[in-house]
Amino acid sequence: MKSQAKELGTEADWPPEEGQIISFQSSTGQSSTGFETMILKEVRWGLVWRDFILSDGRVIPEHRISGCPHPQVWRKISEVTDREREECEERLFSMAGAGMDPRERDQRFWAELNQYLAYTYLRFKPAGCKVPDTVQDTER
């Protein structure tokens, strides 16, 4: 049986489209376990970077996707609205209240928490402090 999914092309095609087969660095705990492939369900901007939602429900940050442009594209913190931040906080509160474990990597709670922590750091970092190897981007 032939797969209906399209295979990922090149960085020029970035980000991949829904339905493409993507390759990504897998992880368990605190170490990398190699590469896996999976069908991409959705690409979604978080507070800082893109998250890639896979067909099995895992959420993979952009920097772990094979073919990700370097330097990685991040949003300008000034572009994040108060409403977006508040909605993220509400999702985190809801997931915590539901007893979800934020230590489970590649899951929604882990992804949301990391986005929120990065956003908070960038929002309050000292003036003039540069974030290495990233490009601030206004396009979404």
How high is the pLDDT of residue 26?
85
Instruction: Give, rounded to a whole angstrom, the gap between the first and last alpha carbons of the chain.
Output: 36
Q: Tokens in use for 97?
A: 């209240």
* 117 within 8 A of 97, measured Cβ to Cβ: no
H/E stretch holding 75 reads: strand 72-75
Domain boundaries, the chain: 6-126
Average pLDDT over all residues of the chain: 85
Query: Scanning the structure block, which residue is given the tokens 């909605």?
Result: 87
Any idea how long the chain is? Answer: 140
Q: Tokens in use for 130?
A: 């540069």
pTM (whole model) above 0.85: no
Question: What residue type is 96 in one-letter code?
Answer: A
pLDDT band at residue 27 under the 50/70/90 scheme: confident
Indicate the burial class of 29 (C-beta count within 10 angstroms; 0-12, 13-18, 19 or more): exposed
Answer yes or no: is pLDDT of 8 > 50: no
pLDDT band at residue 32 under the 50/70/90 scheme: low
